[in-house]
Structure 1
Amino acid sequence: MTAIADGPGGLSQPLETSESPEDGHYDADVIVVGAGPSGSAAAYWMATAGLDVLLLEKTSFPREKVCGDGLTPRGTRALIDMGIDVSEEAGWLHNKGLRVIGGGMRLELDWPELASFPAYGLVRPRADLDHLLVRQAVKAGARLHEQTSVTAPILDKQGRVTGVLAKGGPGADRAESSYRAPIVLACDGVSGRFALALGLQRNDKRPMGVAVRRYYTSPRTDDDYLESWLELWDGPPGADDAKLLPGYGWIFGMGDGSVNVGLGVLNSSAGFQKTNYRTLLTTWLDSTPPEWGLREQNALCPTQGAGLPMGFNRTPHYRDGVLLVGDSGGSVNPFNGEGIPYAMESGKFAAEAVVRALARPPGPAREKALASYPAAMAAEWGAYYRLGGVFVKLIGNPAVMRACTRHGLPHPGLMRFVLKLLANLTDPRDGDVSDRIITALTRVTPPLR
């Protein structure tokens, strides 16, 4: 194999070949690049449908990922749909709802009772979660190659992706190998390196966030509510010299003697490009009660950070044989920064489109089936994410955020409506008045694509 110059995003430039899908040899029905929640979910659903799925992962499991580790009922449903045992006996910590702190108030909001979603959320270390998901995909029949780093797309003479180049994998000689398939799923996360190698850039006008998190030993480990701080201060709230910090924070009990603590900042915030997020996290935690233990001597790891690609900030979600799935396609919810359930759901949408496509011959009929994937994404979340983009711009103004916090939190009924909106938990057909209002809002809003 001849050497290829480095391209954008750390991947090599696409390799052009004269082979067409008709005369080339395929190593699988579909290749999935990345075995995070989106890749493992897509691989699971495609393998369950009988497709030969090759799942390529650059690391090995279990492996660490930066995450809040907390799941709303939407994430719980996605796991149940994949046949994952989410019982407490299987090691999951259940939570009842969300505790909101801000404006000098503390409000506990239980997850709503809905037909579409279970009434509980979950907490599990991300390293465990991803390992469970990829094992479920393998159990369904997907072939997993760990320590296999994709280096470039392979294109046919029409410019369609028909495979990938990769280093590592079986044999462990680190030689570059080619893998061929008629369809490739890019599930490589926030970096979007595979998409970048194809010239698919991020849309900077759409929301983006940054989150940092750290684990601490803490007596708050068994908390049965996820806790969200809408105001972060560099000292005791209300003190004359206390300053409001950009972003919002969380404290999630892990049930094992530790807590996951973190904060997120949106690109609509004036401090987005100027903030040292690790210092910001420490500054906030130093203002919390000492008995919580959120101090340096109780830290279990360094502070780590990651980007939050929101609101479809990379599109199109399908082009020339490649589907962008999960974070690669900017599927994080801009209202609350939640990514795992949307990664898993987008994986299922992609799998459904691929199964339909591969039941048809190459050509217009197959392309029509593959185009149903971005259509499904737009229909499911396009309008909701557009509303989320407006929300991100509003709360980027500290004065607006303070007003919403101080005037909203004293009204539990309003906050229950807000919880449903932010967590995207509604029954569109059989819900209550708040469900119908949210459904009406999304129906009249033009969807993002």
Structure 2
Amino acid sequence: MSGQVETAEVIVVGAGPGGSATAAYLASHGVDTLLLEKSAFPRDKVCGDGLTPRAVRELIHLGVPTREEDGWHRTKGLRILGGGVRMELDWPGSETFPSYGLVRSRMDLDEILARHAESRGARLHERMNVHEPILDHRGHICGVTAKVMGENGRATGETREFRAPIVVAADGNSSRLSLSMDRPKRDDRPMGVAVRTYYQTPRHDDDYLESWLELWTKGDDGEDVLMPGYGWLFPLGDGTANVGLGILDTAEAFGTFDYRDVMRRWVAAMPEEWGISEETQLAPIRGAALPMCFNRQPLYDRGLLLAGDAGGMVNPFNGEGIAEAMESGRHSAEIIASALRRTTPGEREAVLQSYPKVMKDELGGYYTLGRHFATLIGKPEIMRLAVRYGLPRKSLMRLLLKIMANLPQERGGGLDDRVINALTRMVPAA
């Protein structure tokens, strides 16, 4: 054990989009912030790499430059295929959200955001694998211990101690820190799985994300089964595309089939124009879990706040988690900065306790709608009807695009914006 102890006002564990956004905002508020990352940049994460206008809004809030000449590929909207229909839907754009999306690999994105947090004043320590909390006499977290990792990705045997009165867990789906603070996953929330790889393709500069709504696997009886999920092709503008699929666990067959095999079957049926084949595949197929609908709660307790995937903030409609992670970083930083300005421990704790309500006001009703949606499309017959009768209706699909990417104008707007906002307010945020 190293005798060195480093202190700060706040420790953020995990330098993904949620953690780096939290640290950047905290530092901008003048808060002394430590950002601890178990790997060294650049490092990869399993993701679709597509950023909806909701995520772009968060990058704008953060002040992150996204010029196309710097490697950011801009998208106009979403191209949907299924049931014999091929339809292009532009991002709606409004006073609330920009009218474009972006694509950037997580290998680049996460480092850009971490370095941005550093530029704002956060102290970033890479290769610090946080493995347990330090608790005070009340059982509140007051720091963490971390294993120092070597360049080979293995523990060096050295440990470090970091101390702060407030800690943010942004350490992803598995969130070892949350588990050690008695916050297991809830089993009444949907989960998803995503698998993806990269291909060389002549359509790398396509300005639409592409989504295939028909993914098939074999059932126990040998019959084809339509899965609740979608396949994607997200062009990166650099000669490659991110190709993958996401499936919800609401399907009866979930966990009984080989996701990589489902992907191989789907990829084998790709149009030749994409140039997708074994010969153009650039990396192995990798998978990751998608924690949804606040599947780990409470979002604050005993000095520990949860951000992003650690709090289960993946959108159940489309599997997006980057926008929600950065949103949670923005809100958590505002609350923490406000709490630190209070004069008594009781006042500070009262402010921190507001974090779960703020996040549920922001996303809770929407997540409740998403839980019902996930249950419905888990039934193959419902999924077939949706593809057959929903897809041909462009006006309906424009509304669904706003719902699935969570893009209603926040105030005013058209009828569809008001309907979506009313629905999310009407349902309980659990």
How far off its partner does 1:387 sit?
Answer: 0.5
Cα deviations across residues 238-290 of structure 1 (Å, max 9, x unaligned)? xxx97645531101111111111100110101121112111111111111224
Cα deviations across residues 183-208 of structure 1 (Å, max 9, x unaligned)? 00000001111101112110011011
Q: How many residue pairs were aligned?
A: 421
Name the aligned partner's letter for residue 50 of structure 1: G
Aligned equivalents of 1:213, 1:173: Cα separation in 2: 31
Instruction: Choose from 205, 208, 212 the match for 2:188.
Output: 205
How far off its partner does 1:406 sit?
Answer: 1.3
How far off its partner does 1:430 sit?
Answer: 2.0
Which segments of 5 or more consecutive residues in structure 1 lack a partner in the other structure? 3-24, 236-240
Q: Which moved more, 1:379-388 or 1:353-362?
A: 353-362
2:370 paired with 1:388: yes
Aligned equivalents of 1:416, 1:90: Cα separation in 2: 31
Q: 1:203 to 1:416 in 2, by over 3 A?
A: same
Q: 1:99 to 1:330 in 2, by over 3 A?
A: same
Q: 1:352 to 1:204 in 2, by over 3 A?
A: same
- The 8 Å contact of residues 145 and 170 in structure 1, kept in 2 or not, is answered as no
Tell me which residue corresponds to 2:20. 40
Q: Which moved more, 1:281-290 or 1:204-213?
A: 281-290
Tell me which residue corresponds to 2:123. 143
Q: 1:248 to 1:319 in 2, by over 3 A?
A: same
Instruction: Choose from 180, 197, 207 the match for 1:214.
Output: 197
How far off its partner does 1:174 sit?
Answer: 4.0
Aligned equivalents of 2:316, 2:274: Cα separation in 1: 30
- The 8 Å contact of residues 226 and 384 in structure 2, kept in 1 or not, is answered as no
Give the TM-score of the pair, scaled to structure 2: 0.94
Tell me which residue corresponds to 2:278. 296
2:54 paired with 1:74: yes
Cα deviations across residues 155-178 of structure 1 (Å, max 9, x unaligned)? 011100000011217999641121
Instruction: Choose from 55, 58, 68 the match for 1:88.
Output: 68
2:55 paired with 1:55: no
Tell me which residue corresponds to 1:113. 93
Instruction: Choose from 375, 400, 407 the match for 1:425.
Output: 407
SS in 1 for 2:359: helix
Instruction: Choose from 289, 307, 330 the match for 1:325.
Output: 307
- The 8 Å contact of residues 228 and 377 in structure 2, kept in 1 or not, is answered as no
How high is the sequence identity, in percent, across the aligned residues?
54
- The 8 Å contact of residues 38 and 126 in structure 2, kept in 1 or not, is answered as yes
Name the aligned partner's letter for residue 262 of structure 2: L
- The 8 Å contact of residues 34 and 189 in structure 1, kept in 2 or not, is answered as yes
Aligned equivalents of 1:297, 1:271: Cα separation in 2: 31
Aligned equivalents of 1:437, 1:40: Cα separation in 2: 34
- The 8 Å contact of residues 216 and 262 in structure 2, kept in 1 or not, is answered as no
Instruction: Choose from 96, 102, 105 the match for 1:125.
Output: 105
Tell me which residue corresponds to 1:225. 208
Aligned equivalents of 1:174, 1:80: Cα separation in 2: 41
SS in 1 for 2:203: helix
Q: Residues 182-197 of structure 1: matches in 2 within 5 Å?
A: 182-197=165-180
- The 8 Å contact of residues 296 and 311 in structure 2, kept in 1 or not, is answered as yes
Aligned equivalents of 2:344, 2:304: Cα separation in 1: 14
Cα deviations across residues 203-229 of structure 1 (Å, max 9, x unaligned)? 011011000001011122111111111
Q: Residues 11-26 of structure 1: matches in 2 within 5 Å?
A: none
Provide the aligned C-alpha RMSD in A.
1.9
Instruction: Choose from 379, 397, 410 the match for 2:361.
Output: 379
Aligned equivalents of 1:120, 1:225: Cα separation in 2: 10
Aligned equivalents of 1:59, 1:199: Cα separation in 2: 25
Name the aligned partner's letter for residue 277 of structure 1: Y
Tell me which residue corresponds to 2:293. 311
2:48 paired with 1:65: no
Which segments of 5 or more consecutive residues in structure 2 lack a partner in the other structure? none
Ranges of 4+ aligned residues in structure 1 off by more than 6 Å? 169-172
Aligned equivalents of 1:284, 1:173: Cα separation in 2: 43
Aligned equivalents of 1:275, 1:54: Cα separation in 2: 42
Give the TM-score of the pair, scaled to structure 1: 0.91
Q: 1:50 to 1:75 in 2, by over 3 A?
A: same
- The 8 Å contact of residues 145 and 169 in structure 1, kept in 2 or not, is answered as no
Q: 1:328 to 1:234 in 2, by over 3 A?
A: closer
Aligned equivalents of 1:190, 1:433: Cα separation in 2: 36
SS in 1 for 2:342: coil
Cα deviations across residues 410-429 of structure 1 (Å, max 9, x unaligned)? 11111111111111101132
Q: 1:107 to 1:170 in 2, by over 3 A?
A: closer
Cα deviations across residues 13-32 of structure 1 (Å, max 9, x unaligned)? xxxxxxxxxxxx87000001
Aligned equivalents of 1:137, 1:95: Cα separation in 2: 26
Instruction: Choose from 325, 339, 364 the match for 1:343.
Output: 325
2:397 paired with 1:415: yes
SS in 1 for 2:195: strand
Tell me which residue corresponds to 2:265. 283
- The 8 Å contact of residues 250 and 375 in structure 2, kept in 1 or not, is answered as yes
